[in-house]
Structures are given as structure tokens and as C-alpha cells.
Amino acid sequence: MLISSAFAQTAPAAAAAGNDMQSTLMGMLPLVLMFVVLYFVMIRPQMKKQKEHRTMIEALTKGDEIVTSGGLIGKVTKIGDGYLSLELAAGVEVQMQRSAVVQVLPKGTIK
């Protein structure tokens, strides 16, 4: 008689523990889904954009016409490891960081 009543009391506890685990997993599901959506909507496109920018900067050559992050438009005259020289007008040349280049313009844009 004692064994059967003890067994009867432990069985629902085990089932309740399983329900607790399942409810915990279901409670975490929205958090996991939000992270997955965040990755595909924000993180992945940003990484792709950074890779394209890095590729553009590495491909710069002397004579390219570029736009800087400050809005300056000019022609590349010298290229170093981290810096480049930009000719803004005849006789006006500035030195700037390569990472400040935002866009490479088609040849002949600057007249």
C-alpha cells in the first residue's frame, strides 16, 4: 500500500517537470526568432555593405574620380597604404584617409 501511493505521487511530478521544460522552451522561442530576424534584416546586410566598401577601397587606382564622406569630389593622384592624395582643383591637393572614400565616379565625371 505504501509503495503504490508513493509511486502515484512521483508520477505527476515527473510529468510536471516535463511541462516546465517545454514551457521554458516555448518562452524562449520568440527571443530566438527575434534574433534570427535581426540577423537577416540588419546584421547580414551591414556585413555585406562593409565588404563591398572594403573591396572598393582596395581597388582604388591613380586617376580614379571619387567622392569623400565630407562631400569633396576629386581625382586620386597618389595612393599609400592608409592614405591617398586627392586633387580637388588644378594645384589644390589634399591628403586623406582611404576609408573616407564613399563612391568611385565614372571616368570623365569631373570636368
User: Going residue by residue through the chain (111 aa), what tens digit of pLDDT does each one get?
Assistant: 556 555 555 555 555 556 788 888 888 999 999 999 999 999 999 999 999 999 999 999 999 999 999 999 999 999 999 999 999 999 999 999 999 999 999 998 887
In contact, 86 and 70? CB cutoff 8 Å: no
Query: Do residues 97 and 66 both lie within one domain?
Result: yes
How far is residue 26's CA from residue 28's CA, in Å, rounded to a whole number?
Answer: 5
Look at the chain and report how many structural domains it folds into.
2
Give the range of the structural domain holding residue 48, as residue numbers without chain letter. Answer: 1-59
Look at residue 96 and tell me if it is in a domain: yes
Query: Do residues 2 and 54 both lie within one domain?
Result: yes
Look at residue 23 and tell me if it is in a domain: yes
> C-alpha grid cell for residue 9?
505521487
How far is residue 89's CA from residue 47's CA, in Å, rounded to a whole number?
Answer: 35
